[in-house]
Amino acid sequence: GRSMRELIESGEKSFSFEFFPPKDEAGEERLWRAITELEPYRPTFVSVTYGAGGSSRDTTVRVTGRIATETSLTPVAHLTCVGHSRAELLEILDAYKDAGVDHFLALRGDPPGGPHTEWVSTDDGLEYASELVAFIKEHYDAAVGIAAFPEGHVNSESLEHDAQVLKAKADAGAEFAVTEMVLRASDYFALVERARAIGVDMPIIPGIMPILSLRSMNRMVELSGRVMPREVTSRLEPLAETPDLLRAEGIRISTELCDELLAGGAPGLHFYTLNFSRATREIFQALQITV
């Protein structure tokens, strides 16, 4: 088959949707509703995140396998280094082989205590996403993507070091990148420039988190060690008491960001759906992308 890189760069813009493993039956129904409603857009891929531990990890394997067998979609399974020995990672890769899942997003993962806590090594485990990329490529004929950070990873000592980490992941065999949610198009373009300047030529897909509420957006941005751009908060804060108007303005802001990214040469858009389809569909409608 064609590589993921070829698909992303096939000439048309690439669209992809990210989901997380549902925690209960209601969540499972919501996820499948979102998948069903987004499938007609024929995304390049859909991805399913991998939790910090426990049963949600099995749910990721199960849901990703179901997407592979029961839909027309190409699933990308997120996988992390957190808490896994090499032997366990091999078992997980075997489960994916059985399910016909052969696309991965290789991540280090956040420490079990959250993004702001100290990294904890696992006996006979891996330390960095670049090692996981190499590990997957060594054991499985799979396409592997990785994470990139428009404003640098929260723990990165500098933007230059951050770009070197991206290069290490490319050198290990990664063929595409998806970014943390982009807050300003200029940050995304600067990331691409830093990458290209040191010979990283893989497609880098900007991540889009539709803005639906000021509080949840602030929380997510804070977790990533960043601050909301003033030009965004100044448009949203006056609407804090009118959630419907705020949501509509949030969709407008997100749409403008998508427009600017695509016009500036981004190879596509990766939507953080949070297992809902409505906001993504509204942005598609505003961008005049139809099924």
Catalytically active residues, by annotation: 18
Contact pattern from residue 128 through residue 167 relative to ligand FAD, giving x for each residue in contact according to CB under 6 A and a dash for the rest: xxx----------------x-----x-xx----xx--x--
In angstroms, how far apart are the furthest CA atoms of the chain?
54
Shortest distance, CB of residue 86 to ligand FAD, whole angstroms? 16
Shortest distance, CB of residue 180 to ligand FAD, whole angstroms? 4
CA-closest candidate to residue 267, choices 192, 197, 172: 192
Contact pattern from residue 201 through residue 220 relative to ligand FAD, giving x for each residue in contact according to CB under 6 A and a dash for the rest: ------x-------------
As a residue count, the chain comes to 291
Residues 228-267 within binding reach of ligand FAD (CB under 6 A): none
Element (H, E) at 220: helix 214-223
User: Considering CB under 6 A, how many residues would be counted as binding ligand FAD?
Assistant: 24
Burial class (CB in 10 A: 0-12, 13-18, 19+), 141: exposed
Nearer CB in complex with ligand FAD: 79/211: 79
* CA within 13 Å, CB half, 263: 9
What is the number of other CB atoms lying within 10 angstroms of the CB of residue 182?
Answer: 26
- 64 contacts ligand FAD (rule: CB under 6 A): no
- 108 contacts ligand FAD (rule: CB under 6 A): yes
Dihedral of CA 168/174/180/186: which sign?
A: positive
Strands 14-19 and 143-148, bridge-based pairing: unpaired
Contact pattern from residue 68 through residue 107 relative to ligand FAD, giving x for each residue in contact according to CB under 6 A and a dash for the rest: ----------x-x------------------------x-x
Strand partners, 106: 79, 146
How far is it, in rounded angstroms, from Cα 107 to Cα 104?
Answer: 9
Nearer CB in complex with ligand FAD: 73/236: 73
Shortest distance, CB of residue 110 to ligand FAD, whole angstroms? 5
In the 8-state DSSP scheme, what is residue 126?
A: -
Residues that bind ligand FAD (CB under 6 A): 49-50, 52, 78, 80, 105, 107-110, 128-130, 147, 153, 155-156, 161-162, 165, 168, 178, 180, 207
